[in-house]
Amino acid sequence: MAAPERRGGELRRGGPGPLARVRGYFRLHAQNLLGSLGRLARQPLASLLTVAVIGIAMALPAGLDVLVTNARALSAGWASAVDFSVYLEPGQPLARAETLAAEARGHADVVAVEVISADEALAQLSQFTGMQAALEALSDNPLPHTLVVRPRPGLSAEAVGRLADGFETLEGIDLVQLDTAWVERFLAIVDIARRASGIILLLLGFAVVVIVGNTIRLDIENRRSEIEVMKLIGGSDGFIRRPFLYGGLWYGVIGGLLAVVFNASALLALAGPVQRLAGLYGTDFALQGPGLSGLGMLVGGGALLGWLGAWVATSRHLRDIEPT
Amino acid sequence: MIRFEAVGKRYSGGGEALATLDFEIAAGEFVFLTGPSGAGKSTLLKLVALIERPSRGQVVVNGQNTRKVARRRIPQFRRGLGMVFQDHKLLADRSVFDNVALPLLIAGFAERDINRRVRAALDLVGLADKAPRLPLTLSTGEQQRVGIARAVVSKPPLLIADEPTGNLDPALSLEIMRLFERFNELGVTLLIATHDIDLVTRLGHRRVELVEGRLVGDTGRRHGSA
């Protein structure tokens, strides 16, 4: 054994200085951050299962959100691509319709104007079975001349509405019919889906907190004797709690990353078929991913939920462990 | 350093562990706490370490009345005393070095200071070359010395030990006690619970004896204690 007299000077008392305390604090956090990751890695299967469940729970609402976002993007295209009909007042000559059509073609937001004369309209109508007899009973053609206006693609729904309103104020126009009701109905359905995805997000977010909380609770139970020793030698609640909080953080972050992978795989698998479908409809619509901010939200949200789960578990269970 | 004033301890659902205990240990003393099993030795040490609180009376440790130490201040309180246990209470998944470093880590020491102090403490218990080993690869006597190094590494003024030689043969027990005596020479106050009467008699320090929770003998302060 070493001679204590020689080392006697080492038994001087005194705590660390303030600067050393601050440095020690940050070093401790860094050590806990890496240490808790190492602890996860030492039980790969159990950690993987926990992280996979978190990943799935987070991928579901995120995936739904991607679908809703895409449906909105798609329907926004429809709302502006819709043609509208401009009916002239009865008795207006066909020449007036032609003049209006020529003027409209010069408008920057209009790509095509088709003139349907009253006679053509009647001919089209009489092709419907059962209508012929009824039409023949009329002494003259009750239908007005009509313009079918196609707005420039990419125009917002509001701009299309303004364009249509502009026609309504013109001389000799009876009625402008813009049939966007079905688009609005579709958007209402999409809004319901969006709301539902919000509810699912809340529920599954809660599930992630519970999953992490339960995992950390088991972890605390397994390390009971270690926690007792820490308390015996003066470990504060914060000191003992920190590695568990970082453990929860890691579960959340890795679960979030896994959710990103799940979503990216699903998008990749759907991209081909969606492109084929879009091709059949003659559009170049492509699925939009969640983007960088979406990925950040998944990972950041995972971190927050994991931390929260660990916080709840440590608040409840660390207090109960006291040395005896 | 330690003062018991009319201290009683009754465990809920159990009998009286300690009854009206009065005694004082001055700074720098080396005191053995003896008595048969169940006499209340462990309970007394638990009152000192604030693992238990007294049912009656007051325990003053290091100038602090333990009654007035709030729950959240207990960690800070415990950093002021070193504790040695019969079963060592080492962390099996950490090296000898990391085990000894733990109190310094908890107190927020800088890495440089931790290295220096841990080396010094391990040197003191004669285990400088075992720093990277895991505790379970050491002998029982060596493990106990690791436990002692951990108890003194933050240089507490007071060291309490509950049957520190309970699992050791006489030769190793004496070695451990000699180690405690060296700390005592450096100014550390020691309170050691043991039922190894032969060793106590041989070393001749102050002896406080408990039987059924009562103080039945106190040899008083001895010369030779610093």
Average pLDDT over residues A53-78: 84
Q: Name the range with the highest mean pLDDT among A67-76, A276-285, B167-176.
A: B167-176
pLDDT of residue A129: 59
Position A246 in a domain: yes
Whether B179 contacts B125, CB under 8 Å: yes
Q: For residue B80, give Cα distances in angstroms to A248, B76, B113, B182.
A: 32, 7, 18, 19
Residues A136 and A283 in one domain: no
Mutant choice from B1, B109, B116, B130 vs A, greatest count of A C-beta within 10 A: B109
Residues A66 and A147 in one domain: no
Q: For residue B77, give Cα distances in angstroms to B7, B26, B49, B68, B162.
A: 19, 18, 8, 11, 19
- A38 CB within 8 Å of a chain B CB: no
Residue where one domain finishes, among candidates A139, A156, A179: A179
Domain that holds residue A134: 83-179
Chain B residues with CB-CB distance to A237 below 8 A: 72, 75
- What pLDDT band is residue A277 in, cutting at 50, 70 and 90? confident
Average pLDDT over residues A66-75: 81
pLDDT of residue B226: 43
Cross-chain CB nearest to B75 (options A13, A28, A234): A234
Higher pLDDT, A53 or A180: A53
Residue-range domain boundaries for chain B? 1-74+191-226
Average pLDDT over residues A94-117: 87
Which helix or strand (DSSP H or E) is residue A105 part of?
A: helix A94-105
- B51 CB within 8 Å of a chain A CB: yes
pLDDT at A257 over 50: yes
pLDDT at A14 over 70: no
pLDDT at A80 over 60: no
pLDDT at A8 over 70: no
Position A149 in a domain: yes
**Nearest 5 degrees, angle CA B22-CA B25-CA B31?**
110
Residues A212 and A309 in one domain: yes
Task: Give the CATH number for residue A88.
Answer: 3.30.70.3040
Residues A235 and A197 in one domain: yes
- Specify the DSSP class assigned to residue B171: H
At residue A167, what is the residue type?
A: F
Q: Provide the mean pLDDT of chain A.
A: 83
Residues A61 and A131 in one domain: no
**Nearest chain B residue to A25, by CA:** B108
- What pLDDT band is residue A28 in, cutting at 50, 70 and 90? confident
pLDDT of residue A76: 65
Lowest mean pLDDT among A14-18, A162-166, A204-208, A238-242: A14-18
Mutant choice from B124, B152, B190 vs A, greatest count of A C-beta within 10 A: B124
- A120 CB within 8 Å of a chain B CB: no
User: Could you give the CA distance from residue A109 to residue A152 in angstroms, rounded to a whole number?
Assistant: 5
pLDDT of residue B75: 92
Q: For residue A259, give Cα distances in angstroms to A120, A262, A274, B184.
A: 58, 5, 22, 60
Whether A131 contacts A122, CB under 8 Å: no
Whether A60 contacts A266, CB under 8 Å: no
pLDDT at A156 over 80: no
Nearest to A197 by CA among A72, A62, A293: A62
Which residues of chain B, if any, have pLDDT below 70?
Answer: 222-226
- In this structure, the number of other CB atoms found within 10 A of the CB of residue A229 comes to 21
CATH code for the structural domain at B1-74+191-226: 3.40.50.300
**Nearest chain A residue to B76, by CA:** A234
pLDDT at A89 over 80: yes
Q: Give the gap in angstroms from C-alpha B30 to the nearest C-alpha of chain A.
A: 17
DSSP-derived 3-state class of residue A278? helix
Residues A196 and A211 in one domain: yes
- DSSP per-residue letters across A42-94: HSHHHHHHHHHHHHHHHHHHHHHHHHHHHHHHHHHHHHHH--EEEEEPTT--H
| Residue A169, Cβ density class (10 Å: 0-12 exposed, 13-18 middle, ≥19 buried) | exposed
Contacts for A8-14: CB closer than 8 Å, 24+ residues apart: A8/B186, A10/B116, A10/B117, A10/B120, A10/B121, A10/B124, A11/B152, A11/B155, A11/B183, A11/B186, A11/B187, A11/B188, A12/B155, A13/B155, A13/B157, A14/B155
